[in-house]
Structure 1
């Protein structure tokens, strides 16, 4: 990421997809703005060995169709906590709630959204905000409630520190980051994590996140 002449950030925007007419249009419109640096990558690029982790300040645009037909390698890549993901061309009917599995998801654009929504979405995401359609937010709230109740029941078995540790594990924080956030020693965090594993009957962070997220998706189906 570099600075422009007006001391504003020039944001790196990577579009994942093929060189179709729609993507050419998106590229042309984005390049009209002097605040974005645009590149395009084929989906296969992210499945190759040695592909670097996406910089958190890089905004990745991926079409809904690409994700719907994505390989497991591509899904894993975009599930990284460091990614900043905007999914466009999403159908208004039958929106797939499992898009929320992508931890870096920051924006969703419907198929019929005007190009102005793309720039407003990019601006929101570049300011560490999110851009989610109202219909999707309503659906998420309705489907999230049973999970919230279940999560609350889970928390009743945990101490306050274990609850705080669990929340930060779900956010992807390391033991050191959790220790700094809670103002405790890293060894203390390791003790909380060990007790969490025992209570949740899991062996690692990935299993913790899967267990909590699976409770949500079991309720949402």
Structure 2
């Protein structure tokens, strides 16, 4: 299916500027353009018959139907914003899953038609600076997620277990720990046994190594 056969939904303000855009698109073989006023937008199943949605950024209002349309994760139709007067924050763009690009108010009709063709071909139409910021965000998220998944599990220790673990890693014997904490040696042995289970280790040497790992990432 060629671009001229694709159905486009235009959501915006009912004014001469919108009429001019529709007229210019028609001259560029994009005749299947349906206009819906942002102030009377109905989010019905009829919208699914379109291949692309053009949204006038100036028509966006908080809690409006258009804003709901933009943020709806179940909405799979690509969206192209036009008439964008200021840079859209990356955090905001990420909450609009289907927005594939935007154009400034000074964009020519040639730019608009080209952007429509690119987005319909599953491409993006963002300024280079915006693309760089988005890439940086995704990289940071990936690195952070990878960092957390690689870290050893943090065991939940009682206050007494932490005390014994600290003394144990200092090389203290069970008897020395018992004397330091004024408890029976059998009590210390019981705590050490529980520590081994929580740390998933089998001996004192493994416990010290595990604690060293946890300390290196600031989790103990």
Cα contact 2:13–2:56 (8 A) shared by 1:
no
Pairing partner for 1:58 from 38, 51, 55: 51
Query: What's the RMSD between the two structures over aligned residues?
Result: 2.6
- Once residues 38 and 10 of structure 1 are traced to their aligned partners in structure 2, the CA distance between those partners, rounded to angstroms, is 10
Q: Which residue of 2 aligns with 1:115?
A: 109
Q: Displacement, 1:137? A: 1.2
Over alpha carbons, which structure has the higher Rg?
2
Query: Which protein has the bigger strand share?
Result: 1
- The number of aligned residues is 148
Q: Which residue of 1 aligns with 2:8?
A: 13
After TM superposition, the structure 1 = structure 2 runs for residues 187-198 of structure 1, keeping only pairs within 5 Å, are none
- Once residues 49 and 97 of structure 2 are traced to their aligned partners in structure 1, the CA distance between those partners, rounded to angstroms, is 12
Pairing partner for 1:71 from 63, 69, 94: 63
Cα contact 1:54–1:82 (8 A) shared by 2:
no
Q: Which residue of 1 aligns with 2:198?
A: none
Structure 2 vs 1, CA of residues 151 and 9 (structure 1 numbering), >3 Å: closer, same or farther? farther
Cα contact 1:13–1:59 (8 A) shared by 2:
yes
Q: Which residue of 2 aligns with 1:33?
A: 28
Q: Stretches of 4+ moved more than 4 A in 1?
A: none
Query: Please, which runs of 5 or more residues in structure 2 have no aligned partner?
Result: 152-220
Q: Which residue of 1 aligns with 2:216?
A: none
- Once residues 54 and 9 of structure 2 are traced to their aligned partners in structure 1, the CA distance between those partners, rounded to angstroms, is 6
Q: TM-score, normalised by structure 1?
A: 0.57
Q: Displacement, 1:53? A: 6.2
Cα contact 2:9–2:33 (8 A) shared by 1:
yes
Cα contact 1:46–1:77 (8 A) shared by 2:
no
Q: TM-score, normalised by structure 2?
A: 0.58
Structure 2 vs 1, CA of residues 143 and 42 (structure 1 numbering), >3 Å: closer, same or farther? same
Query: Please, which runs of 5 or more residues in structure 1 have no aligned partner?
Result: 158-221
Structure 2 vs 1, CA of residues 146 and 31 (structure 1 numbering), >3 Å: closer, same or farther? same
Structure 2 vs 1, CA of residues 138 and 13 (structure 1 numbering), >3 Å: closer, same or farther? same
Structure 2 vs 1, CA of residues 11 and 71 (structure 1 numbering), >3 Å: closer, same or farther? same
- Once residues 76 and 114 of structure 1 are traced to their aligned partners in structure 2, the CA distance between those partners, rounded to angstroms, is 28
